[in-house]
Structure 1
Amino acid sequence: MNFKYHFFTSKVMILGLVLSIGLASGKTKDHNSKQDKQTPNFIFIYADDLGYGDLGCYGNPTIKTPNLDQMASEGVKFTQFYVASPVCTPSRAALMTGCYPKRVGLHNGVLFPHSTTGLNPKELTLADLLKSEGYETACVGKWHLGHQEEFLPESNGFDYFFGIPFSNDMSKKEQAKMGWENYKYQLPLLCGSDTLELDPDQTQLCKRLTDEAISFINTNSKDAFFLYMAHPMPHIPLYASKDFQGKSARGAYGDAVEEIDWSVGQIITTLKQLGIENNTIVVFSSDNGPWLPYKTHGGSAGPLRGGKGTTWEGGMREPCIMWSPGNIPSGMVCNEISSTLDILPTFAHFANADVSDKIKLDGQDIYNLIMEQDYSFDSPRTFFYYSSKGTIEGVRKGPWKLKAVRDTLELFNVEEDISEKYNLAQKFPKRVCELNQLILSFDKKIEQEMRPVGKISEIENSRH
C-alpha cells in the first residue's frame, strides 16, 4: 500500500488556521503561485557535530573557512547560540518544530535503523508553515527524524527530499570497519522515499548534496523557497572528495569542514548569479558540539567545556551565522542568548506568517534582536534549559548557569567564566535555589504538555 498521500487531520487543521490568518490580512497565497518577493527566501545549513571552535571566524587557527568567515563579516555572528540537545535527533526535532525535544516526544536520544518512532506528522514544522505561505520547500542531506515513509521530510512539509535518513555511520559497511561484522543495516540514499543507492560513496556526498541544493535554488529562483541543507559531516566517518583530501592542516576532520565551507560558497555564489542574494536569508549552524572522544577525528569546542552528549557549554553552544545583504545588518556580533528553537517563530516573522496562540512553541521571535544594529534590544529569551535524554540538567538565566553534576548543583557565571571552571554555588546559594526551582517547575510543566511522538503502530491503526 502506498501511503504517500495520507493526510493527518490535526496538521491540516493547524495549517488551515495559519492560512486563515493570511486570508484575513489580505495575504492570499496559493502554494502553486508565485510568492510575493517582499518576503525573503530562507536557507538553513546545518553541519553535524561541528564544534564552537571549528571555524576561522570563531578562532580556529588551522581549519580554513573563508566563505563562512566572509558570511560572518557581512552578516551577524552569534556568540551565545544554543541547540536544544547535545545529540542529533532531539536537536533536529527542536529546529523543525520550535519546541524543546521533550515537548514533541523526541527527547530520548538518537534514532537508529531499527527504531519505529519519528517526528509525528501531526506536528507543525517549519516547512509546513512556510509551505502554507506559498514557499517551495526542500530538504537536502541528513534527516534523522524517522526513516519510515510517514516520518520522512515529504510527510513533514517538504516538497522534495534528497539525502540520507540517519547518520552516515549507521551502515554495515562502516560498522564492519569498527568490528561490528553482524551489523545488518545499510545506509540508503533517498529521493523522496525511494532508495537510489545503498551505501553511497561518501567521498562524493558533499558535492552531490551541493549540486542538488543548487538545482533546487535555480529551479525556484523566481518563487519563494525554503532550503534546509543538513550536511552529514563532520560526523564520523570522515570523508572528503579528492579536491579536499589531505589539504587541511587539521587532517581528515579539517578536510571535511573545508569542503562544507566550499559548499556554502557555492550556494552564496549561486544566489549572487541569480541576483537573489538580497532577498535570501542564509543561516549556518551545527546540530550539537564536537565528538571529543574521537580526538583528531572529532572537532573543537574552543574555550568551552565538554562536547557532544554533554550539557556543558561545549555540547550545546554552537556557531551561528546569519547572512542576507538586503535584510540583515552587516558585520555585527550578537552576544545575546538565542537558540535553534527561535528559528521557526523568527522565520515566521520575516515571512509575515502569524503563529501566535495557534501552536505551543518554546521558541522566541528574535527578529528585533537580529535587525537592531546597535543591539539595544535584549533577547526575548529570558532563560534556556539544558537537557539530555529528557532530563533537564541545567538552566541559563542571564549570565548564570545552574548545572546538575551527578548529585550536586554547580553554579557558573558563563559570561565571565566561559569555560565553566569556577563553581560559585556556595557563594550564591539563593541564586542556586532560584534557578533550581525554574528547573523543577519547567520539567513538571513540560511533562504535562508533552505531545505524542510519531509511532508506526499508531499510524498503522489509524488507517484501519
Structure 2
Amino acid sequence: MERTFLSGIKKEIIYCLKVLLLFIGGNCLSACAKGAQKVTLIDPPNIIFILADDLGYGDLSCYGHPYAQTPNIDQLARTGLQLKRCYALGVTCAPSRAAFMTGRFPATLPGNSAINGFDEYLTLTDILRQNGYQTGHVGKWHMGNKQQLGPQPYGIEYINKQLRMPAAGEGKDDSLFAAAIDFMDRSKEKPFYLNIWCHTIHFPIGIGSKFETLFDTIKVNEHDFSQWYVDNKIRPIQQAGLNLDSLMKQYLAEVYDLDHHVGEIIQYLEENNLSENTIIVFSSDHGPAPIELDLQESEDRKKKRFSLLGTSGDFKGGKHTFQEGGVRIPFIIRWPAKFLWGTVDSSTVFSAADFMPTLCGVIGLSTKEFQLSGEDMQASWRGEITKRAQPLFWRTQSAGSSVTILDGDWKLYENLGGVVTLFNLKSDATENNNIAKAHPEIVRDLRRKIDKWKATLPN
C-alpha cells in the first residue's frame, strides 16, 4: 500500500511539472520530454480518432473482405485517404496504443505502459491541450493506472472508460459511442480532440449484437480466403464440428455494429455543421486475434473462441506476431477541408509512431524538438507518395526479446537463437520465401541497424 501511495504522489508531481513546463515552454524532465511551444493555430480542426480493437487488415469491405458490410467506414475511405501500408508497432493492446499516443517505438518506453503509463514522455493530447484543444477519451484505456497518474493524465480533460458489459439488446460499444457524442455536444464551440477506443472486435464475439439477421444468408466459401486463414481459422472450426456459417455471421454482425456507430459519428458531425473541418481517423490496434483454446476455460467460452474469425486479408499471422498480418492495419483519414477525396496509397510506409508528428504537422504544430521515433509524413496525407527516412522496428517491451526490422521493402526477423529470416515485401508481400541466404549483404546491413537501435533502448 505504501509503495502504491508513493508511486501515486510521484506521478502527480511529474504531471504537474509537465503542465508547468508546457506552459512556460521550457525544458522538461529529460531530453525526451521537452515542453511544447504554444502556437496560435488558424482555424484548427476538430479531431476524432476511432481505434478498433483486434480488427484485422482484411475485415472491412474497403480492404477486401468478401462478406463484410461496412458502408460508413467505406464512405470515409471514398471521401478521404486510405493507406494500404500502415503498421501497428505493438502486437498487443498497450504497446500499440503507446506508439499512437507518444510517437515512439513501444520498446523505447520504460516498463509495461499498460501498468506504468508513459512516465515523463509527452503525448499527443498533452500538446493539443496546451494549444487550445479540449481533450477527451472514451473507451478502452491501457495507458497506466489512472488513479496513480494524477488529475487529467496526458492532458486529457474528460475520460470515460465505459468498461461495463452490454445489457440485453445492446451492442458492445453502444454506451461508448453515446458518451462520445455527449462529449462532442458539450465541446463543439471550441476545437476538440477525442479518442474513441472501441472494445469491438475483441473477444468475446456476439455479445449483445443486434445485426446477425443481416447475414442469415452467408455461406462461407473457403476459396474466398487465403490458405493461411483456411488452415488457422476455418479448419479448426470444421474439426471441432461447429457451424462455420453461424460463427461467421456473429463476427460480421459485430463488425457491422462498429460500422453503424461510425455512421452515428458522421451523422452527428453533418447535422451540427462540423463535418468540413473535422479530421476523422479510423484504424485498429493490431491484427486479428487467433483462435487460442485455454484448457482451463469452460466449454462455452472455448466455443466462443472459434468465433474469432478476423482476417488479415492475404497476409499471414495476426495478433501476437510480427508477421504482416499481425502488424499491418487499416488506416483511413478524412478531412474534407484539406485533403483529396478518394485517394488510395498502396506505397507509403506509415506507422503508428508517425501518427502524432504527422497529425501535429498538418494542423501547424512542430514536434521536431521531441526526438520522436515517428516521422512527420504529412505529405502522404495530402496524397503524395512519401518515403520514410528511418526503418521501423518491433520488439516486445521485455528486454532481450527478438527484433524485427522493416527498411523500405526489406523485412528481417532476428530470432533469439541467431537465426534470421528475410523477405522482400515488394515481390513477396505474403512472406513465403526466406531469401536471407541469397542476400547476405542485406542481412548484415539490417542487423547492424538493429544493433544500433537496441543500444538506445532502456535496460
The interval holding the TM-score normalised by the smaller chain is 0.7 to 0.9
Q: Is 1:97 aligned with 2:102?
A: yes
Give the Cα separation in 2 of the matches to 1:317 and 1:354.
27
Give the Cα separation in 2 of the matches to 1:239 and 1:14.
47
The residue identity in structure 1 corresponding to 2:381 is: I
**Aligned twin of 2:233:** none
Q: Is 1:388 aligned with 2:396?
A: yes
Give the Cα separation in 1 of the matches to 2:36 and 2:53.
36
Superposition RMSD in Å: 2.5
The residue identity in structure 2 corresponding to 1:386 is: W
Q: Which has the higher strand share?
A: 1
Match of 2:412 among 402, 405, 417: 402
Once the two structures are TM-superposed, the CA of residue 21 in structure 1 deviates from its matched residue by 6.5
Q: Is 1:224 aligned with 2:236?
A: no
Once the two structures are TM-superposed, the CA of residue 246 in structure 1 deviates from its matched residue by 4.5
Kept in 1: contact 2:79–2:341 (CA 8 A): yes
Match of 2:72 among 60, 67, 74: 67
Match of 2:314 among 281, 303, 309: 303
Q: Is 1:353 aligned with 2:365?
A: yes
Alignment of 1:34-53 (within 5 A): 38-53=43-58
Kept in 2: contact 1:240–1:259 (CA 8 A): no
The residue identity in structure 1 corresponding to 2:387 is: S
Q: Calculate percent identity across the aligned residue pairs.
A: 31
1:4–1:396 CA distance, 2 compared to 1 (3 A):
closer
Deviation string for 1:36-75 (max 9, x for gaps)? 6612111111001111110001100111111111111111
The residue identity in structure 2 corresponding to 1:320 is: F
- Give the secondary structure class of the aligned counterpart of 2:59: coil
Kept in 2: contact 1:240–1:255 (CA 8 A): no
- Give the secondary structure class of the aligned counterpart of 1:346: helix
Give the Cα separation in 2 of the matches to 1:85 and 1:6.
27
Give the Cα separation in 2 of the matches to 1:247 and 1:154.
42
The residue identity in structure 2 corresponding to 1:436 is: R
Structure 1 length as normaliser, TM-score? 0.79
Count of aligned positions? 395
1:7–1:40 CA distance, 2 compared to 1 (3 A):
farther
**Aligned twin of 2:84:** 79
Kept in 1: contact 2:117–2:144 (CA 8 A): yes
**Aligned twin of 2:222:** none
1:204–1:295 CA distance, 2 compared to 1 (3 A):
closer
Kept in 2: contact 1:18–1:132 (CA 8 A): no
Alignment of 1:57-456 (within 5 A): 57-106=62-111, 111=114, 117-120=115-118, 122-151=120-149, 154-164=152-162, 189=163, 201=167, 203-248=170-215, 249=218, 250-293=248-291, 294-334=305-345, 335-357=347-369, 359-371=370-382, 373=383, 375=384, 377-390=385-398, 391-405=401-415, 407=417, 408-447=419-458
**Aligned twin of 2:228:** none
Structure 2: gaps spanning 5 or more residues: 27-34, 219-247, 292-304
Deviation string for 1:420-461 (max 9, x for gaps)? 00111111110011111111110112237xxxxxxxxxxxxx
Once the two structures are TM-superposed, the CA of residue 148 in structure 1 deviates from its matched residue by 4.0
Give the Cα separation in 2 of the matches to 1:18 and 1:328.
31
Structure 2 length as normaliser, TM-score? 0.80
Structure 1: gaps spanning 5 or more residues: 28-35, 112-116, 165-188, 190-197, 449-464
The residue identity in structure 1 corresponding to 2:342 is: G
**Aligned twin of 1:11:** 18
Q: Is 1:54 aligned with 2:59?
A: yes
